[in-house]
Structure 1
């Protein structure tokens, strides 16, 4: 949630952490003493989606606010990855650890204990899926037959989750032509993944778009020094030539 302070400087992170604490405590009270995976998931689902009204923002999927956790908590709507992060945080507070699954085109979560064998689609009201359902979900997303490869269901780290959230925002701001905001997100990505060549390239291209020639030249030259035989290297060299 820290990166949200760049967009919302007055954000009080502790307030939102306290909100998650309160939600978790109410779910814990509802759970009682007899606890097992399916009961925990169904109890979280009932409180989060039926009582509080959290839901996937299918009507305005590319609204930047869907990628800021404070806004997702306030509006009770978001995209798969941000809703999943909230769910993961609640599960952690219930001593029921879950992990994120960065499936192509979608984001799921599952209990940390692999032998449970179930996945949760938080974007779709906490729908419970099995491995076969995940393959069907992929076909539905891509509108064509697609084989579910084992690595599609590999858990992702917190760093990877944050990187995916920031990358979503990066492309949202690109499509909205909000270049200063996009630049800020790239800077955050480079803090997360220092010297990542594609982020350096994209920052250079963004500086070029903003007519900041010196900064653009520095980044694009650095990109070529890291990946001199990149597929887009001829195009980058042409841009550098234009700025001379």
Structure 2
């Protein structure tokens, strides 16, 4: 019989929760259940708890936080074999936490979730960073923050490498200390979950799997109703699916919210193609 002591939240409760109250690990599994309806969340919970329990005595005996997290990383990435999926980076399984735990393969954000959750259960406040292009994690330390790359074995990253990585995503501009510090701010739980769903939407849209693309955009709107891009993305997915009424509603709603968006003309043209005419904006 499945263990029912660990349960998932309900989608209809999440939008109203404060960010700090959003259960990150459980909501990531909730996202996975859309694709895997038979998912057993308690089994995933037990697997991560086993990782933490294996480490508990060793980590408790270590005094310094950086050395504690080094022991966690060694167990996860060297002994258990969690690793970044360099061969099939855009495989959607790399975004679904149940698959990541089962295959021990993932993308940067899903591996970060495993690393963060195991660390949390061991009392370490590991945080996510919505770094441009590549999700990272951070650990507060006395002299600042220790930044690590979960996609590459939890490797620590120095300031020069962080500047270079950021520069390639800032139009070639090297960030100064203030900008880099802002980039390295911890990501809110809601932003992390939305980023997972954006990744899935992108993968499914690229593959022309418009039902799954629409579902991913819809879940973003459930978590964060003011995510205007997700409203447009759901509308475009509905358009591909032939759900004209839904497409009209979403695309018109997007233009009401973003009348001066860079893609407003293209979206209006789509609406005209649906026979709606130019929408009346308020």
The normalised TM-score by structure 1 is 0.93
**Cα distance, 1:234 vs structure 2:** 2.0
Query: 1: distance between equivalents of 2:170 and 2:256?
Result: 39
CA contact (8 A) 1:117 1:131 kept: no
Residue equivalent to 2:243: 212
Residue equivalent to 1:170: 201
Aligned residues: 243
**Cα distance, 1:14 vs structure 2:** 1.0
**Cα distance, 1:92 vs structure 2:** 0.5
**Cα distance, 1:144 vs structure 2:** 8.1
Deviation per residue, 1:176-224 (Å, 9 max, x gap): 1111111111110000111422111111111111122121111111112
Which region of structure 1 is more displaced relative to structure 2, 141-150 or 212-221? 141-150
Query: 1: distance between equivalents of 2:150 and 2:273?
Result: 48
Pair 1:131 & 2:159 matched: yes
CA contact (8 A) 2:132 2:169 kept: no
Matches within 5 A, 1:1-244: 1-113=29-141, 115-138=143-166, 145-148=172-175, 149-150=179-180, 151-244=182-275
Residue equivalent to 2:21: none
Query: 1: distance between equivalents of 2:76 and 2:233?
Result: 38
Query: 2: distance between equivalents of 1:21 and 1:56?
Result: 21
Which region of structure 1 is more displaced relative to structure 2, 183-192 or 229-238? 229-238
State the SS of the aligned residue for 1:155.
coil
Query: 1: distance between equivalents of 2:252 and 2:145?
Result: 48
Deviation per residue, 1:29-56 (Å, 9 max, x gap): 2234232112112111211111111111
Q: Structure 2, unaligned stretches of length 5 or more?
A: 1-28, 276-282
CA contact (8 A) 2:149 2:157 kept: yes
Query: 2: distance between equivalents of 1:95 and 1:145?
Result: 38
Query: 2: distance between equivalents of 1:134 and 1:51?
Result: 27
Q: Structure 1, unaligned stretches of length 5 or more?
A: none
**Cα distance, 1:136 vs structure 2:** 3.1
State the SS of the aligned residue for 2:271.
helix
State the SS of the aligned residue for 1:118.
strand
Q: Report the CA distance shift for 1:167/1:114 in structure 2 as closer, same or farther (over 3 A).
A: farther
Alignment RMSD, CA only?
Answer: 1.8
Q: Report the CA distance shift for 1:131/1:209 in structure 2 as closer, same or farther (over 3 A).
A: same
**Cα distance, 1:152 vs structure 2:** 1.5
CA contact (8 A) 2:232 2:250 kept: yes
State the SS of the aligned residue for 1:156.
coil
